[in-house]
Chain A
Amino acid sequence: MGELRVRGVKVRDTFAEAFGMRATRLLITAASPRWARIAGECLTGFATSVIGCKVEAGIEADLPQDATPDGRPGVSALLFAFDAEELKKRVPERVGQAVLTCATAACFDGLPGAAERVRVGSVLRHFGDRHQASKIVDGRRYWRIPVMEGEFLCEESVGSQKAIGGGNFLILASSAEAALAAAESAVAVMRRVPGVVLPFPGGVVRSGSKVGARHYKKMIASTNDAYCPSLRGRFGVTTELPEGVNSVLEIVVNGLEREAIEAALRSGIEAACLSGVVEISGGNYGGKLGKHLFPLHALFGAAPA
């Protein structure tokens, strides 16, 4: 088992464990970059984990006006659900509450080539109470739903595809400050990778979890005690933390393709290896959670153990 160091920081020879999801990409445009952001942030708000939010989502990129369907500034958002049925319920719900309501915003399909469709405009049109109208431009149908401001323009359906949720790595640091600085550094570069989003607050998770709970049967997930520095030495806890680790933060990345997640993990780990970081590890559940495994060493060209 070879040892891998990135910028002097040890990367544990383990894997990040991720799981299959169903995802869509929405392009949201508005009168200004600010309003596009507002719509996008509302649309992808409260969407950290499917455990409690049904959807995991984030803003993939800000879009300049020449990169949007209607020539206005926009954002592209990725939304992930557990399966296609769930996605079909959640996308119209979120667009209806967060984009239809948002001043100047419009909603377009960001996966027009995808054969699997999620209905959006064709559901939300009912808000128009039969005053809505549709237009077909270049074979794609758009609904014009009258609202007090003017019209809400929403594409009839958006594409969906298989995707991966829960790509991750753990930053094991000597202090909470060092962990946060490393996490922020990682998030800044990972957000530039196309095809991924970091659904947790600020792109960072402090509450990594294990599957189920030892003491509460109802819990689907509970605190990852092996990685909680404050539990080191406690009865019933087998710590995974080396000496000198006093705080751990996790970066979780969801992506449309495996390659995009790999690129994000690679650049994120590199950016996270700052002073005060003791080790980089991966969140895995011994194969209990998902079938998509990302051996950390393989990201850097080293053969996994």
Chain B
Amino acid sequence: MSVRLTLRRAPAAPTDAASIRPDAFLELDEVAIAGLPMGPDPESPRIGDLFDVLGGRSDDVRVNGDLTRLRGLGADMTGGTLRLEGDAADGVGAGMRGGLILVHGSVGDEAGARMRRGSIAVTGRAGQRAGLQMIAGTLLVLGDLGRAPGFGLKRGTLVAGGSLELLPTFRLACTYRPGILPLLFRSLRRHGFEAGSRLEGGAFRRWIGDCADLGRGEILHGAPP
């Protein structure tokens, strides 16, 4: 059993979509999910105003469509699986405390900001400040990262497959093969997310940071082919 949300039409203006989080759907049927406000503002549109909702009472949620005007998808989620089939806007998984977000597409700015636990995996690119002030957890981006990745990173892991421009407050530790990554890649593959043989077989540069903050986090940058 799963929940499938299919976007009928993209909203005209950027819209808070923080209600779309799998853990919140676990006890709700199709009608109840469609009736939820999209964001914390009770005046905000209902999920059913923008999406066709199929299924309920599940924390395995798939969202299809052009999501580039929907902010905060999966924000603060504590568990479950959220699959985004399409590009998403800012704040994907911000503050998340558990579960898994898989994005088949690109994400906007500040993906995974202040997340504490759980994993986010993105096939495409990420905007600015990916992993902003991340407390723990894992954010994997196969494509390029925008400016200031890991800004204020405390703990946690940013895995970068594409190009990135590092802040001067990140320090190169070494190039190696972290033993945990094969476990992460295998887990993602079981969920239908392929990291690709270049990353799966390759070495990573480990950057320690953000040294302007706690500095116990890391950016693992896949060595270019």
Contact = CB atoms under 8 A, between A and B. Distances in A.
Nearest to B190: A138
Contact of A133 (B174, B179, B186, B216): B216
Interface SS of chain A: helix, strand, loop or mixed? strand
Interface in B148-205: 155, 157, 174, 176-180, 182-184, 186-187, 190
A137 B155 contact: no
A144 B178 contact: yes
A70 interface: yes
Contact of A135 (B138, B190, B216): B138
Contacts of A69: 183, 186
A288 to B, nearest CB: 47
A286 interface: no
B117 interface: yes
B177 A137 contact: no
Contact of A150 (B157, B176, B187): B176
B180 A135 contact: yes
A121 to B, nearest CB: 12
Contacts of A150: 174, 176-179
Interface string A119-162: 00000000000000101111000101000001111000000000
Q: What does DSSP make chain B's interface, helix, strand, loop or mixed? A: mixed
A106 interface: yes
Contacts, number: 42
A137 B176 contact: no
Interface residues of B, number: 18
Contacts of A202: none
A153 B179 contact: yes
**Which of under 10, 10 to 19, 20 to 34, or 35 or more describes the interface residues of A?**
10 to 19
Interface string B13-41: 00000000000000000000000000000
B135 to A, nearest CB: 13
A135 B157 contact: yes
Contacts of B178: 144, 150-151
B183 A137 contact: yes
Interface string A63-92: 000000111100000000000000000000
Given A135-B138, A136-B117, A151 B179 contact: yes
Contacts of A72: 182
Interface in B126-142: 138
Contacts of B176: 150-151
A71 B183 CA distance: 8
Given A106-B179, A137-B180, A144-B179, 16 more contacts: A69-B186, A70-B179, A71-B186, A72-B182, A133-B155, A135-B138, A135-B157, A135-B183, A137-B119, A137-B183, A144-B178, A150-B176, A150-B177, A150-B178, A151-B176, A153-B180
Interface of B: 117, 119, 138, 155, 157, 174, 176-180, 182-184, 186-187, 190, 216
Interface of A: 69-72, 106, 133, 135-138, 142, 144, 150-153
In the A-B complex, the 8 residue pairs with the closest CB atoms: A153-B179, A70-B182, A137-B183, A150-B176, A138-B187, A137-B187, A135-B180, A71-B182
5 contacts: A70-B182, A138-B190, A144-B178, A151-B179, A153-B179
